[in-house]
Structure 1
């Protein structure tokens, strides 16, 4: 009977040790959305390597339109990001990032009579399968290079490190 108890204790200890050894690192990350040089949004999270986190932010805008400059319909400028750490150690974190952005064009449109039209929204999809970030340092990933410029500034580290 006592042999069975010892075997059970040893087996349980071995399983616990194996679980601790194979536990995936946890990554703390920050992502800033920068449009034309100014930060317009930010995301952050703590995610285990091999897992993903998806967040959506909404920014509803309304423009004055027409020759009488009346309020027009609203546009939901949504931004959805999925961030997944794929590798992490004390020096470098590798992130897979998928993004879908709804942006407004910078150019103001007018009718042939010179009346205001609202900016046209456009959807931008971007994916980076392995953005490498040095622990604690900012890395920039340019999504759109003009009209407007759009970049993500990303910083990451192991959750128990700064």
Structure 2
């Protein structure tokens, strides 16, 4: 009899603990990279709250340089983003975003004699520890404010499975 009671208590405790566990919240997000108002890249993903996702996009460019306008060495313009949902509910999403950008300056350069030089690569690192947005609505974060203007447009929402749990 007492064995049956212990089994019943253990089974009841197990069921109660299982009933109280919430399924993980999963956020679907999109990020557009805008340079001087034009979209130049895009990222998207589905990430569980408390986890992070890192993606890198590469664009290799080569320029003609010198007075003879000859091809020069190539430059890898890499963009790496780490996106981590910190909080999410049906109304608001908070993302942590870390970015490392390599892009070219807008200014065309020349030697003293007027021969073309390649644009200089520029590296920028930015971090937003808690970008808040209304669920499903676009919000903007300016990374570089001039020469060029570089803006991230971001939107996020809970996935259907997460919405059903809330």
2:135 corresponds to 1:146: no
Name which of 16, 19, 38 aligns with 1:17: 19
Q: Spell out the pairing of 1:57-96 with structure 2 (5 A cutoff).
A: 57-96=57-96
Distance 1:84 1:76 in 2: 26
Q: State the SS of the aligned residue for 1:31.
A: strand
Query: Which position in structure 2 is the counterpart of 1:45?
Result: 45
Q: State the SS of the aligned residue for 1:8.
A: helix
Distance 2:108 2:143 in 1: 22
Q: Spell out the pairing of 1:87-126 with structure 2 (5 A cutoff).
A: 87-126=87-126
Equivalent residues, number: 159
Deviation per residue, 1:60-114 (Å, 9 max, x gap)? 1010111111110000000001111111111110111110000100001111111
TM-score w.r.t. the length of structure 2 is: 0.91
Query: Which position in structure 2 is the counterpart of 1:56?
Result: 56
Distance 1:82 1:57 in 2: 12
Query: Which position in structure 1 is the counterpart of 2:5?
Result: 3
Gaps of 5+ in 1: none
Distance 2:15 2:64 in 1: 68
Deviation per residue, 1:93-141 (Å, 9 max, x gap)? 0111110000100001111111111100010011111111111111011
Q: State the SS of the aligned residue for 2:21.
A: helix
Distance 1:31 1:155 in 2: 7
Distance 2:45 2:133 in 1: 15
How much has 1:15 moved relative to structure 2?
2.3
